Amino acid sequence: MKLHADLTQRIVLATPDLPWLDSPMPGVQRRMLDRDGEEVARATSLVRYAPGSAFSPHTHGGGEEFFVLEGVFSDEHGDYPAGTYVRNPVGSTHTPSSREGCTILVKLWQMHPDDQTQVVVDTTASPWSPGLVDGLRVMPLHTYGTENVALVKWAPGTQFQPHTHWGGEEIFVLEGVFSDEYGDYPMGTWLRSPHGSRHTPFSREGCTIYVKTGHLVEAKVPSNAG
């Protein structure tokens, strides 16, 4: 399966408008954002666990990265409430579940095998740092090689300078409305801008976004992805 698999293309998706599709496990559904492969795939998805649902034990051959949007996600290592950012490195194993139900933004097979840092960040309790312009605050989540992951909070009326993204940029709008010269992107919008793309972002009403940069130059797809 190939869905928005060409990383040279700009993609903008209003995820609340996408259908929920059943996964192989009862009670677990997905909104697919991009995918290159079948059940084992380089993929970005929203995943929704019904209360009391669980996924079978599995190993992440290409690593897993997720942000908990709603509810509480759990595995044998702990409970991760809304606002938690987690990275499970290549080769890690777990058995995910959710007692009360949850929704997560998850990325699979998009991690460098040498990046073996296990990361768990409670963003509701972590400090913000000043951004590069007035009205901008940043919460770094992870950095490896050219890849940078962060939350960015925009005060109402904040304007950023025009800039080019080496290695591309991926954004998920968590709150408010993010904008640039190409459009307005309300909460739940997912954007992927390719290597070398350029824009001038701003926010009239303020917003909080999950941002990942520098990771779209070289895609690694699992060998059995098809």
> By CB neighbour count within 10 A (0-12 exposed, 13-18 middle, 19+ buried), where does 35 fall?
buried
Domain count, the chain: 2
pLDDT in tens, 18-52: 999 999 999 999 999 999 988 888 999 999 999 99
Rg (CA), the chain: 17
Please check whether residues 40 and 104 belong to one and the same domain.
Answer: yes
pLDDT in tens, 87-96: 999 999 999 9
Please check whether residues 102 and 50 belong to one and the same domain.
Answer: yes
Evaluate whether residue 133 is within a structural domain.
Answer: yes
Percent of the chain as helix, strand, coil, to the nearest 5: 0, 55, 45
Evaluate whether residue 170 is within a structural domain.
Answer: yes
Evaluate whether residue 180 is within a structural domain.
Answer: yes
Please check whether residues 43 and 102 belong to one and the same domain.
Answer: yes
Please check whether residues 64 and 107 belong to one and the same domain.
Answer: yes
Please check whether residues 164 and 86 belong to one and the same domain.
Answer: no
Q: Please tell me the pTM assigned to this model.
A: 0.94
Domain span including residue 112: 18-122
Q: How confident is the model at residue 222 (pLDDT cuts 50, 70, 90)?
A: low
Query: What average pLDDT does the structure give for the chain?
Result: 94
Please check whether residues 137 and 193 belong to one and the same domain.
Answer: yes
Tell me the C-alpha distance between 143 and 148, whole Å. 5
Q: Is 144 left (phi over 0), alpha (psi -120 to 50) or beta?
A: beta
Domain edge (last residue) among 122, 139, 170:
122
DSSP at 127:
P
Please check whether residues 33 and 110 belong to one and the same domain.
Answer: yes
Please check whether residues 88 and 114 belong to one and the same domain.
Answer: yes
Evaluate whether residue 174 is within a structural domain.
Answer: yes
Please check whether residues 41 and 66 belong to one and the same domain.
Answer: yes
For residue 181, give the 3-state DSSP assignment.
coil
CATH number for the domain spanning 136: value is 2.60.120.10
Domain edge (last residue) among 69, 87, 122:
122
Q: What is the model's pLDDT at position 40?
A: 81
Q: What is the model's pLDDT at position 60?
A: 85
pLDDT in tens, 63-97: 999 999 999 999 999 999 999 999 999 999 999 99
